Amino acid sequence: MKFVVLWVLVGCFYGIVSLANSPDAESIKMASEKLYDAALIRFQSEAFSAEDAWKLARVAFDFAEHLDPSDRKESVARQGIAAARACVQQSSQMAEGHYYLALNLGQLARCRRLGALKLVREMEKAFLKARELNASLDFAGPDRCLGRLYLQAPGWPVSVGSSRKAMEHLTEAMLIHPEYPGNVLQLVHACQELNRSGEASRYFRMTHQITQQMNQNWADRLPPIVLVKWRALLKDIQTTMSEES
């Protein structure tokens, strides 16, 4: 079941693509590690706040995305989980704690062969709670992540997978933040995975300007890894459309 969680996690935040072949990979990794180390220092101080905790959980997820299971991924993921839980303990109504808890649980699951299904269900619970508290968080991140989770996980009774729920949440994410390229790309890619090529083409045409301008509009607003992943996912979508035409 390990493969299920790997695909679920990568799809949740960035899209199902690899960073390894990017020419920017090493510099992005180094920058991500510096952010992680700085956030960890703040978190380890006696006066850390709930905000310090979820910010550490966020950068832990980003940094772990660069790491292999043999290269600190599990320890960084566990630190992210601990920070997110600390946030939830201090302020249970802060959506960020639940959201980044789910994402770091996914990173941990990628390091395990056993217990992955249990972690998937815990991820679902945390994403749903984050959505209840703040559906707009991370540009509709809870709905975007739930959509990928339901799309990639096995269906009932084995796990939580549901193509219907996947499309509902991915569509909702785009409705909440239609300007966010990640929501557009995830919805189009999901349509392709579900063999809904007509819907994929329609959504892609509707949002063409958003994807074409994502570099200039978002480069200074997000971690570099996000744009790298978006470009790769966009290329994958375009390749699939070319093969289908």
Between residues 3 and 77, the one the model is more confident about? 77
- Tell me the three state secondary structure of residue 159: coil
Stated pTM of the model? 0.90
pLDDT value of residue 172:
98
pLDDT at 239: 94
pLDDT, residue 77, reads 96
pLDDT band at 16 (very low <50, low <70, confident <90, very high): very low
Question: May I ask the CATH class of domain 2-244?
Answer: mainly alpha
- Return the higher-pLDDT residue of 222 and 135: 135
224: Cβ–Cβ under 8 A, 6 or more apart, which residues? 24, 28, 31
Question: Cα torsion at 130, 132, 133, 134 (round to 10°)?
Answer: 80
Write down the pLDDT at residue 201. 94
Is the C-alpha dihedral spanning 221, 211, 225, 130 positive or negative? positive
Contacts of residue 138, Cβ cutoff 8 Å, sequence gap at least 6: 99, 144
Q: Can you give the pLDDT at residue 114? A: 65
Q: Average the pLDDT over 229-242 and give the result.
A: 91
Residue 8: how many CA atoms within 13 Å on its side-chain side?
35
Q: Is the pLDDT of residue 36 over 80?
A: yes
Give percent above pLDDT 90 in the chain. Answer: 63
pLDDT in tens, 55-104: 999 999 999 988 887 779 999 999 999 999 999 999 999 999 999 999 99
Which of 211, 131, 207 has the alpha carbon at shortest distance from 172? 131
